[in-house]
Amino acid sequence: MGDETIGVDIAKLHFDVHSYPAGETWPLR
């Protein structure tokens, strides 16, 4: 159950990072 949720979160996070401008919403890159 936990692993499934993490997978979804990772995918969504990765998508958001590429969707929003770099360094705009996510200070990751």
pLDDT (0 to 100) of residue 26: 54
Over 60: is that where the pLDDT of 29 sits? Answer: no
Judge whether residue 28 has pLDDT over 60: no
**Cα–Cα dist 4/25, whole Å:** 25
Q: Please give the pLDDT value at position 18.
A: 60
pLDDT at 5: 72
pLDDT of residue 16: 66
Q: What is the pLDDT of residue 13?
A: 72
pLDDT digits 0-9 by tens, 1-18:
566 777 777 777 766 666
Tokens at residue 22, please? Answer: 């770099």
- List the structure tokens of 2: 């936990």
